[in-house]
Structure 1
């Protein structure tokens, strides 16, 4: 099999698990008749009364946006892109999005770019200017849509300057559209749709980026074939999610878990609840997210582990969670204690596991949640292998097999004569339930935070090790909000850590190096001065290679 040739690959029939009792959602054909962007036009005709978005205003009044209104906004977004593309000498330009816009506007802009026939590349605004410049250059991005916030404008300008100084091609830049630009109260007869467009299955649809393994983030191209396969994920679960409200108040659309919603909604009929569109976007906090989720009558709260751990400390938040059907978390490890406590209080906890190179690998959602909430069974429609280590854990490999529900976007190994992607994720088997696994760690040094972000310590540790005062540096922070570092001073600079004055003096000596590190690192990997420097850190050992 040529993994980059999808012309003759079959589309597997999705299991009959979704939309079993709906009266408003009509499941689109998923046999290759329609590409992902074309599914939106389908729903404009066949799912007229089915909601796509729900949000609440400051008074708690909710507004529902059904598919026809949303699709008209998609087309308006696409027309804005077509206008920008007139000055671009490329047939299918790549539009990067470097913004922290509200969920609904960002979602609609992503789909609008693809519906216009272009490639969309959401870039995390937490990256450094150097990383943004690297990603733009690597992908030959033609135009960047930038958030209007001063910090984002400054970051984009810094990335542009790096490209200019290195004599590399610079993209055009403009502000990302706002909600009022694309959601307009008009009548059907005044709507001017985009012309029909059918991309090839091998054509790029979107680009994600990794958090990086040894240096800058790496772009990961998703073809239209693989993008449509991502819409099969809800069908591999055991619950009918059609019409269920998924609270995405805290899930950024530039993250893979947010991007997948552009297909899950269209293929399975999920409904997205979010904050009211606003500029600047409402910053998610545990208080605002749980309140917004309940106000919009969300069924499942979708978030990263740090929010769940914050809610567990607040009895009122726990009470609000008990009004939902549970929490779906992903991106990093959730405290075992917190998960167990919420399960005991009747709040189902569901794990979402996947990677940008492949997509979502765990079922969404299993039939029930219980004491084994952090274990999952990989669906049989995904071809996988396990490479065991000496400790009883195993690295997960996903094979590129035709006719399956997942084909990796990157192939980095072979097994049994088949091309595959080695995830570098170590999974631990359930002690008594065959074929059930939980995420244990990494075969590389990546640190998974409870925010869904990852820190790649090797290049950062190397920068610290070059400081003349440092003999060795080791970063930590798995399951924590941010990264920390242990420093072993060079001979001649040792001191008693109980002497706070000497500790502060040593930290100040190495701080210029830390500042250079922070200029290089993404926001979630930066180091900060602790208020209580004598508090010993707690961190698990890294998995053995």
Structure 2
């Protein structure tokens, strides 16, 4: 039987500094190791330092998963080293205390309860300061209140809480914020300066600050001293543990430090994983050395639902719960199955007080807490009701850090009932106050819910309950004056309840199925003021409350797969934001589904479907997080099929290949198709945009079908247009070229690609080629997450090619990735399928690409489909404008030249290709007679990063060249503000690659076959000075330059020939955006207008004079109105004229944006002009203006061309949409 270890004896008083004391005891040869072993820590940091030098310093003491449940062990010495690194890192933000006279600062920590969180907490302690452990579940106002009330000076946060931290710090000018660092990636060797802290003073300082829940108002800080904390931690079981509690809860942090204090390893649950039975079991079964589990009752409930879980718990020496009471049925079941269940009771303000630790073989009363002898003198139980007592801790208890009474005692507001026969044994009953603690530890305030219910005139009284239950419930006592039936009363209150639910946390929601009515004459105890005595009510109606939570009898429905999918989708659609689509493979939690909603859906399944409730675990939705997975599991349970073990990834890849490899043969249809009609997916990406623009400009191409994820044709068109504009391609496409582009909303996972019957038939009748470039770029998703949309989508596109009503199938060209072969063992990747599925990089993205490569080969061999795999390498900015996404990793490296002042000297030989060259190569191969198979679209001319690239970058950037590890060090030491220093966001990613001295594996790619069919690829040269200048010039325009930068005003020039509708569009823009309008024609000189009236074309002298007047009018109007933009009508037919107006930026800092209204229907323009009465421009001048109109040149990226031949409303809507995108201030 496990017993508590003896308390470590107190050390002799010492005035020596903490660090010196430890170091001396280690280094002095005349000081025996036994003295060090007996040393008692006086601060949290001294505890860590001691354990790093005492016996067992090379044995694991903390274990945390690198990913999933794959744990990494850390010894005390490693832990100490990580703390030192983090402390050095944070010391630039939080100054180290070097003497006990230095002021102690409070530093908030907001983040997931992971290893970096723990290390950061310990680093703050090492710097001599106090950590404020902030819950992630409270409001921004609560965070602000706590930081303010504790006079915090800094806030550390995880990336996912950046928005919260930014908003909070914006209200607190004295608080600095910085991201929580990953200490494992920080450079080793750096050390803090020696500190001269006096232990006797330090032990009384605040070690950390926890806070109350804030369920009845703003949370209050609760201060923990080093002395009180360490006393609590000394009371431990001395067992290897597994903790599922967050470290920002006092029970969680106590359990962790108890293990460290006892020199026993503690496994910390992965904060990135949901609390699910499969994750708990994985750790317990994979680590038999774990002897004690610390968790909330909810975790025990999950494990108790399976035989496997019960067995895992039964082998442990102790299973300890805390945070809330364990439901009796669950606890009884655990104990009956041999689990040594121990209850723990304590509070942040007073530490651990009682447990139900006992002789487990003889005593099965797990829910009766025993008063330990050393606590008994400080315990006072005060009567609060019939056989109900409030626990009060009196002055003198060593772990007590707060008081709420004049005599120094602390009243806990927790109610207990005494054991009928066993002395000093108490069972927790409920809170004295109104807070309801749910079974998952969340604290809900029932007063708000009751107040909403009582507001209804049909309700006399309402009582909300739910202590230690999964969700809230309520009893309603009907008003004596109402004539409504019970169900009608509930209907009457629901609108107000639904409105309330929208404004409170999910765990505080009340649902209709959890509301019951009591008789109008129901009896319950009240105070003198007439209010319900909550504790007494709960006791009187305990059986009715329990009945409401009992699992109801299972339903009887047995549905087909499609019907079941439809039912579950419908149920979840009620719980996600309006307008959000749910696909069968969508991870429901990525849509915001929370734990309460998961419980509600589980209840729905049990009530309606023919399943045994005990087989639908409490964590059912977490364990099967997609509609498809839930459907599969329900059908398995209904048919009695055994659960399948998950296969290895290569087997799963093989199964997926087999699943999608049953291709039908093409049926030839004699039909003549003029020109090429090409389907392109991924047109909203960089490569796709270049492919679309290139195809549209080719005379042989008649139609480019862009299949886009969008809600409507209009949305699809807007996405394609925006993509072309962002890559500076749209402005050079002529009207006839743009008319070739057809954008349709699509869903690749559907058999008909989500198209209408007419659209799909049009493709079948015309398509000659398919370029499949679209793919989900998410390197965290598993292989299966790419199936329904990506892999199935590729198969559906191949089916389209095979179904075409033409003489031969449409050619299918699949854009794969070099990641599909990244683990090729040899030095060269051939232009062929890899020999093994294991050659794919270890992520679902690469594996799914390789699966699809296999499908292409199978389709080609079995059906004759001209299926080609275009395996693409690293893509960079285009050769004309250098446009490259500045958020990608390599541009981020370049940016450190600006933000850090240095670039790394990497020993790498990249083989980059500009995106426009990759697009050309893909088109050349796709439209050639190249055979089916694989080709590597990789530059055959590599270069060296340091010898070749850095000198080119130096032509456009100023930087110092440093080694890769030194670059990482400087990046870590640079500004932590991601707005000022965007590369800091990728510091951990960069460190994983470059914070080492290991030689990087380099693969070359065979490209002979690809170059044989692609002249562009054959002639592609190495990256040169001209290209790098363009790239850096573009990136510099994207890089953040400081808060002082203000968007310049813009002159929106609405141009085009006469009759194109310039004035109509300009006036619409003026009205929509409330900006001034200048009618350009009114600024023509009298002589010029007379010329045009006489059908005499204006010469350049006339136009230049007119353009000068326009520039002056624009400057005057923007100066006097201070408007963000002005709309000007001006034909602006030639590039030279547009250049004249562009001088506004050089002269006055005014940017220009040209909206050019174009049409090739001269007759319509003349008809419009003929209808204008009194206008000086005669219709006969139309031909002259149209002939003068010049298409935008390559450099004119500020030109937005619009087809003006459409309906006026369509033209206006398109222009307004373009302006909104181009000028965000509007």
Q: Is TM (by shorter chain) over 0.5?
A: yes
State the alpha-carbon separation in 2 of the partners of residues 49 and 25 from structure 1: 19
State the alpha-carbon separation in 1 of the partners of residues 502 and 303 from structure 2: 33
CA contact (8 A) 2:8 2:234 kept: no
Structure 1 residues 41 and 344, CA gap change in structure 2 (3 angstroms): same
CA contact (8 A) 1:399 1:407 kept: no
Structure 1 unaligned spans of 5+: 1-13, 235-240
State the alpha-carbon separation in 2 of the partners of residues 25 and 374 from structure 1: 41
**2:52 pairs with 1:44:** yes
Partner of 1:274: 268
- Which residue among 328, 334, 348 is the counterpart of 1:342? 334
Partner of 2:141: 130
- Which residue among 261, 264, 282 is the counterpart of 1:291? 282
State the alpha-carbon separation in 1 of the partners of residues 143 and 417 from structure 2: 35
Structure 1 residues 34 and 438, CA gap change in structure 2 (3 angstroms): same
- Which residue among 91, 105, 113 is the counterpart of 1:93? 105
Structure 1 residue 105 displacement after superposition = 2.5
Structure 1 residues 217 and 61, CA gap change in structure 2 (3 angstroms): closer
Partner of 1:392: 387
Structure 1 residue 177 displacement after superposition = 1.8
Structure 1 residue 381 displacement after superposition = 1.9
Partner of 1:220: 222
Structure 1 residue 179 displacement after superposition = 5.2
CA contact (8 A) 2:454 2:461 kept: yes
> Using CA pairs below 8 Å that are at least 6 residues apart, which structure has the higher relative contact order?
1
- Which residue among 255, 259, 263 is the counterpart of 2:249? 255
CA root-mean-square deviation = 3.6
Partner of 1:83: 92
Structure 1 residues 70 and 229, CA gap change in structure 2 (3 angstroms): same
Structure 1 residues 59 and 220, CA gap change in structure 2 (3 angstroms): closer
Give 3-state SS (helix, strand or coil) of 2:230's partner: helix
Structure 1 residue 305 displacement after superposition = 0.4
> What's the TM-score, normalizing by structure 1?
0.79
Structure 1 residue 94 displacement after superposition = 1.1
Structure 1 residues 316 and 141, CA gap change in structure 2 (3 angstroms): same
Structure 1 residues 57 and 324, CA gap change in structure 2 (3 angstroms): farther
Structure 1 residues 173 and 372, CA gap change in structure 2 (3 angstroms): same
CA contact (8 A) 1:28 1:267 kept: no
State the alpha-carbon separation in 2 of the partners of residues 365 and 27 from structure 1: 28
Structure 2 unaligned spans of 5+: 10-32, 519-531, 538-1226
Give 3-state SS (helix, strand or coil) of 2:354's partner: coil
- Which residue among 419, 425, 430 is the counterpart of 1:436? 425
CA contact (8 A) 1:352 1:364 kept: yes
Partner of 2:351: 359
Partner of 2:154: 143
Give 3-state SS (helix, strand or coil) of 2:534's partner: coil
Give 3-state SS (helix, strand or coil) of 1:63's partner: strand
Give 3-state SS (helix, strand or coil) of 1:251's partner: coil
1:353-409 Cα offsets, whole Å, 9 max, x none, are 1011111112495453742111122222222111123412321111121xx5x3421
Give 3-state SS (helix, strand or coil) of 1:341's partner: helix
State the alpha-carbon separation in 1 of the partners of residues 471 and 34 from structure 2: 44
Structure 1 residues 260 and 214, CA gap change in structure 2 (3 angstroms): same
* 258-267 or 219-228, which deviates more: 258-267
CA contact (8 A) 1:203 1:224 kept: yes
CA contact (8 A) 2:354 2:372 kept: yes
* 350-359 or 360-369, which deviates more: 360-369
Partner of 1:29: 39
> Aligned runs of 1:513-532 on 2, under 5 Å?
513-516=500-503, 518=504, 523=505, 525-527=507-509, 529=511, 532=513
Partner of 2:299: 307
Structure 1 residue 487 displacement after superposition = 6.0
**2:416 pairs with 1:422:** no
Partner of 2:776: none
Structure 1 residues 504 and 225, CA gap change in structure 2 (3 angstroms): same
Give 3-state SS (helix, strand or coil) of 1:85's partner: coil
1:88-108 Cα offsets, whole Å, 9 max, x none, are 9x9322111111142x32222
Q: Of Structure 1 and Structure 2, which has the larger fraction of its residues in strand?
A: 1
- Which residue among 182, 199, 202 is the counterpart of 1:200? 202
CA contact (8 A) 1:497 1:534 kept: no
CA contact (8 A) 1:123 1:254 kept: yes
1:133-167 Cα offsets, whole Å, 9 max, x none, are 22222112211112212xx3333345446xx3xxx
1:269-316 Cα offsets, whole Å, 9 max, x none, are 23211246xxx7233223212322331332111110011122212222
Give 3-state SS (helix, strand or coil) of 2:335's partner: helix
State the alpha-carbon separation in 2 of the partners of residues 18 and 536 from structure 1: 57
**2:184 pairs with 1:180:** yes
Give 3-state SS (helix, strand or coil) of 2:209's partner: strand
Q: Of Structure 1 and Structure 2, which has the larger fraction of its residues in helix?
A: 2
Give 3-state SS (helix, strand or coil) of 1:284's partner: coil
State the alpha-carbon separation in 1 of the partners of residues 457 and 163 from structure 2: 32
Partner of 1:5: none
Structure 1 residues 86 and 213, CA gap change in structure 2 (3 angstroms): same
1:415-444 Cα offsets, whole Å, 9 max, x none, are xxx521111111211121101112111222
State the alpha-carbon separation in 2 of the partners of residues 529 and 79 from structure 1: 51
Structure of larger gyration radius? 2
1:49-85 Cα offsets, whole Å, 9 max, x none, are 2321134566976532110001111122222222112
Report how many aligned residue pairs link the two structures: 486
State the alpha-carbon separation in 2 of the partners of residues 291 and 419 from structure 1: 46
Structure 1 residue 348 displacement after superposition = 0.8
State the alpha-carbon separation in 2 of the partners of residues 483 and 362 from structure 1: 28
State the alpha-carbon separation in 2 of the partners of residues 111 and 133 from structure 1: 23
Give 3-state SS (helix, strand or coil) of 2:117's partner: helix
State the alpha-carbon separation in 1 of the partners of residues 464 and 421 from structure 2: 34
CA contact (8 A) 2:106 2:131 kept: yes
Partner of 2:495: 508
1:426-472 Cα offsets, whole Å, 9 max, x none, are 12111211011121112222212211232233356457767899775
State the alpha-carbon separation in 2 of the partners of residues 355 and 113 from structure 1: 24
Partner of 1:373: 366
State the alpha-carbon separation in 2 of the partners of residues 484 and 395 from structure 1: 25
CA contact (8 A) 1:326 1:350 kept: yes
CA contact (8 A) 1:56 1:296 kept: no
- Which residue among 16, 35, 40 is the counterpart of 2:6? 16
Give 3-state SS (helix, strand or coil) of 2:468's partner: coil
